Amino acid sequence: MSKNTEFVKFDKVDKSYDGKVLVVKDLNLNISEGEFITMLGPSGSGKTTCLMMLAGFETPTNGEIYLDSNPISNIPPHKRGIGMVFQNYALFPHMTVYENLAFPLRVRKVQKDEIDKKVDKALSMVSLSGFESRMPAQLSGGQQQRVAVARALVFDPAVVLMDEPLGALDKNLRESMQYEIKHIHENIGVTVVYVTHDQGEALTMSNRIAVFNDGKVQQLSSPDKLYEEPVNSFVAEFIGENNTFGGEVTDISKDVCKVKLQNGEILANPVSVNSKGDKTTVSIRPERALINPKDKMDNNQTGKIEEVIYHGDHTRVRLDLLGNKEFILKVPNSSNELDIKLGNEIKVGWNSQDARALDPK
Amino acid sequence: MSSETKQILTTDGIPLEISLKKAERKNKIKAFLLVAPLLLFLIITYIFPIGEMFTRSIDDKMITNMLPKTFKSMETWDGKELPSEEVFASFLSDFKILVDKKEHGKLAQRLNKEKNGFNTITKKLFRQVKRNKIDETQSIKEQIMKVHKRWRNVEYWQAIKRTAPPYTSAKYLKAMDMYLNEDNKITQVSEDRRIHRILWLRTVEVAFFVTVFCFLMGYPIAHLLATLPMKYSNLLMICVLLPFWTSLLVRTASWMILLQQQGVVNDFFVMIGLVADDNRPEMMYNKVGTYVAMTQILLPFMVLPLYSVMKTISPSLMRAGKSLGGTPFVAFWKVYFPLTIPGIGAGCLLVFILAIGYYITPALVGGASGTLISNQIAYHMKTTLDWSFASAMGLMLLGGVLVIYWLYNKLVGVDNIKLG
């Protein structure tokens, strides 16, 4: 059975609230059945608006959204059969956990014993069996979160939307919940559309990530590709840490180009530059630049250590390199033979493959 | 058991409990001093007047003080046949003192209230006493009985005995259109004199319907206030509060202008052809006027608690209800409405309690069929000067409110009230 790769389809969707500014511009996005897709972006980038349009709380100003090939713009939210986990959980405070979970089943006129079975199953899925008679206020944040997830799944919806569901939890809980939601997704194979502004969350959980900025999808790809091969400088900046150099292309061949900086010259991977004279921003991941590299690398520079911050498993070193005073290096804790001291000059090298020449900022 | 558990000491060896009390004492005193003025104010302006009202409403000491010897000698009288010589003698001696103090008129008045006919026979007795016609060396009983035939009637002596207790429930019975008859039984007054019960029922009815109307009109307004964007909701809030800032009298007067037979509303009805010009409906000086004006005046008291509760309900709850498959109505009825109950309770209780004691509006626009018990209380305060009766009715009103409060607590729970 082949999976429908256009299970959810945004087709040329525009959205404006005031008739002056487009919050979402020409969105085209296909989500396959059973996929975990994350909409990632800074606040105001249009990701939540997309989710609300899919849920039916906002209507597209232009274009159409299809669910399993059916246009859904004119279907009210309660008939779409889409489960949703809200930012603040939106558990009904006057109902017990059981009643909260039974709500979607009761409005669908499901038999009483069937409801009991389904609620039981959903609660055990989020390991909250035995909490049926508690009120939401008697639960911790993490437990409320799980009830919200269980409630969104209990009526077997085709798609589940999650709107920054972990935003209110503390760091440790957030991480364990990430894995838990990921496992639930893997176990039941429901299609999940997840919205977050936390890139770490997006990277750990998703099959694919759509990076939003300024109402547009900047890049849609798997987490590793997104991190390793960002297609533009916004994605490179937004996902993970990033060292950048602004410059101009002076020479270009198939897979390497020369970029002239303010004081110096480096070799880079021409991703979105085409010809000589193009302005560019070169992006290098901190962990791709090595101190005193043993292997031969085609970029070798010397920098002065400006700051050393101990992070436990690694040490962050800030260098003044080629006029960039914010050049970050991550030195693993195992390499303790290195002489990292404030003010020292050290040699740094990286491969031109890892220095991606992207669009200028 | 507690004596066996080891006492915890502070570092200095003082028992922890004592040390804690000492440390907290200063704060407690401070806190008490902060609330003391309010407490004093409440005692002076609330608890003390209510106590005073209560004693006044049941007080019947005046006659007890007038006939001390009579009542004393009457204690042994069984009340079936005419009392003994001794009772007559003590009555005469009490009466003589009253004549000296010129207070016999008051006695006559009070006894006449108990039983009609005392006025005449007291006056006759007074004339005899004044002329010193009663010879104390002979049987006083015989002589008094000769003054008027009613003094020979045992019913009049029974009436005197009934006034003996220093306290009476007569005022409360009167407020319920009842009285104690000759046999000390609670009896209803004749049908054509039952006015209070109608007033009580009407008061409750008006308060109830005003509450219902306020709820029906206030709920959507409060919802709109809570959900509109700030820009519009502020404006709407001012519209709700504007009448609040206008004098009650001005508002009532403006309703009079609107509702009278030659008023704006009637003119409009005639203009659009709803009613004939010579058949204008009466919308004032009856219950309609009372309902309309009171609903408008009390509306903010419903809107404000509802608004403050609705403001705290996250809009995502309704969305959750809808996304889980509830129709907008189901989402409203099962999710939104139950969460507004604390506001509904507070609003309804507030409006009902205010409405049940409302005075100015029914007095001005109520007419004969729209006046409430509060108007009756005012009438007895100002016109008949029967303060004890007014006090009794006031206390009954207060008691009614307390009963409603208790009922509300049983049904909804006072903890569920949210005023802000």
What is the Cα–Cα distance from A120 to A151, expressed in whole angstroms? 11
The CA-atom distances, in angstroms, between A272 and each of A218, A276, A351, A361 are: 14, 12, 18, 12
Q: Which residues contact B76 (CB under 8 A, 6 or more apart)?
A: none
What is the Cα–Cα distance from A187 to A126, expressed in whole angstroms? 12
Q: In this structure, are B55 and B66 located in the same domain?
A: no
The answer to whether residue A155 neighbours chain B at the CB level (below 8 Å) is: yes
Beta strands at A290-291 and B186-188: parallel, antiparallel or unpaired: unpaired
Query: What string of DSSP letters covers B175-221?
Result: HTTEEE-TTS-EEEPPGGG--HHHHHHHHHHHHHHHHHHHHHHHHHH
The answer to whether residue A57 neighbours chain B at the CB level (below 8 Å) is: yes
Of the candidates B338, B296, B307, the residue with the CA atom closest to the CA atom of residue B419? B307
Q: In this structure, are B234 and B301 located in the same domain?
A: yes
In this structure, is residue B212 part of a structural domain? yes
What is the Cα–Cα distance from B171 to A287, expressed in whole angstroms? 94
Q: Which residues contact B314 (CB under 8 A, 6 or more apart)?
A: A88, A90
Shortest CA gap A110–chain B (Å): 12
Using CA atoms of B223, B228, B232, B236 in order, give the dihedral in degrees to the nearest 10. 0
Note whether A199 and A121 are within 8 A (CB): no
In this structure, is residue B54 part of a structural domain? yes
Which residue in chain B is spatially nearest to A156 when comparing CA positions?
Answer: B324
CATH number at residue B386: 1.10.3720.10
This complex has an ipTM of 0.79
Task: Please indicate whether, in this complex, the C-beta atoms of B325 and A78 are within 8 angstroms of each other.
Answer: yes
Going through A197-293 in order, the beta strands assigned E by DSSP cover 208-213, 216-221, 243-252, 257-261, 264-270, 279-284, 290-291
**Domains, in order of start, for chain A:** 8-233 (3.40.50.300), 241-358 (2.40.50.100)
Q: Which of B323, B415, B418 to mutate: most A Cβ within 10 Å?
A: B323
Note whether A33 and A6 are within 8 A (CB): no
Which residues in chain A are closer than 8 Å to B337, comparing Cβ atoms? none
Task: Please indicate whether, in this complex, the C-beta atoms of A78 and B339 are within 8 angstroms of each other.
Answer: no
Which residues in chain A are closer than 8 Å to B321, comparing Cβ atoms? 92, 103
The answer to whether residue A200 neighbours chain B at the CB level (below 8 Å) is: no
Task: Please indicate whether, in this complex, the C-beta atoms of A77 and B327 are within 8 angstroms of each other.
Answer: no
Q: In this structure, are B204 and B94 located in the same domain?
A: no
Q: In this structure, are B155 and B209 located in the same domain?
A: no
The answer to whether residue A167 neighbours chain B at the CB level (below 8 Å) is: no
Q: In this structure, are B45 and B68 located in the same domain?
A: no
In this structure, is residue B252 part of a structural domain? yes
Q: In this structure, are B26 and B66 located in the same domain?
A: no
Shortest CA gap A151–chain B (Å): 8
What is the Cα–Cα distance from A250 to B102, expressed in whole angstroms? 128
Of the candidates A210, A176, A147, A160, the residue with the CA atom closest to the CA atom of residue A33? A160
Q: In this structure, are B31 and B42 located in the same domain?
A: yes
Beta strands at A82-85 and A70-71: parallel, antiparallel or unpaired: unpaired
Share of chain A above pLDDT 90, in %: 17
The CA-atom distances, in angstroms, between B30 and each of A100, B20, B25, B43, B196 are: 47, 16, 9, 20, 49
- Structural domain count of chain B: 3
Of B316, B324, B328, the CB nearest to A103: B324
Sign, Cα dihedral of B38, B43, B49, B53: positive
**Residue-range definition of the domain harbouring residue B224:** 196-416
Q: Which residues contact A79 (CB under 8 A, 6 or more apart)?
A: B325
CA end-to-end span of chain B, whole Å? 46
Q: In this structure, are B296 and B257 located in the same domain?
A: yes
Amino acid residing at B278: D
Which residue stretches of chain A are H helix? Answer: 47-55, 97-106, 112-125, 141-153, 171-188, 199-205, 223-228, 233-238
Shortest CA gap B335–chain A (Å): 7
The CA-atom distances, in angstroms, between B171 and each of B60, B178, B202 are: 10, 9, 20
Which residues in chain A are closer than 8 Å to B317, comparing Cβ atoms? 90, 92
Q: In this structure, are B253 and B402 located in the same domain?
A: yes
Which residue in chain A is spatially nearest to B317 when comparing CA positions?
Answer: A90
In this structure, is residue B13 part of a structural domain? no
Beta strands at A345-350 and A299-310: parallel, antiparallel or unpaired: antiparallel
Which residues in chain B are closer than 8 Å to A78, comparing Cβ atoms? 322-328, 331
Pull the structure tokens for residue B132.
Answer: 């010193």
Note whether A290 and A273 are within 8 A (CB): no
Amino acid residing at B39: L
In this structure, is residue B232 part of a structural domain? yes
Q: Give the Cβ contact number of residue B41 at 10 Å.
A: 10
Q: In this structure, are B230 and B345 located in the same domain?
A: yes
In this structure, is residue B4 part of a structural domain? no
What is the Cα–Cα distance from B137 to B84, expressed in whole angstroms? 16
Note whether A256 and A270 are within 8 A (CB): yes
Which residues in chain A are closer than 8 Å to B324, comparing Cβ atoms? 78, 83-84, 103-104, 107, 151-152, 155
Q: In this structure, are B249 and B346 located in the same domain?
A: yes
Of A87, A94, A151, the CB nearest to B324: A151
Q: pLDDT tens string for chain B (420 positions)?
A: 444 566 777 787 788 888 888 888 988 999 999 999 999 998 899 889 889 888 888 888 888 888 888 888 888 888 788 888 888 888 888 888 888 888 888 888 888 877 888 888 888 888 888 888 777 788 888 888 888 888 888 888 888 888 878 888 888 888 888 887 767 778 888 888 888 888 899 899 999 999 999 999 999 999 999 988 888 888 988 888 887 788 888 888 888 888 888 888 888 888 888 888 888 888 888 888 888 888 988 999 999 999 989 988 988 899 999 999 889 999 999 999 999 988 898 899 889 989 988 888 888 888 777 788 888 888 888 988 888 889 999 999 999 888 888 888 887 776 666 655
- The half-sphere exposure of B389 on its side-chain side, counting CA atoms within 13 A, is 19
Mean pLDDT score, A177-201: 89
Q: In this structure, are B217 and B310 located in the same domain?
A: yes
A2 pLDDT more than 70: no
What is the Cα–Cα distance from B29 to A244, expressed in whole angstroms? 66
Residues of B contacting chain A (CB within 8 angstroms): 314, 316-317, 319-328, 330-331, 334-335, 338-339
In this structure, is residue B328 part of a structural domain? yes
Q: Which residues contact A30 (CB under 8 A, 6 or more apart)?
A: A5, A6, A8, A9, A10
In this structure, is residue B11 part of a structural domain? no
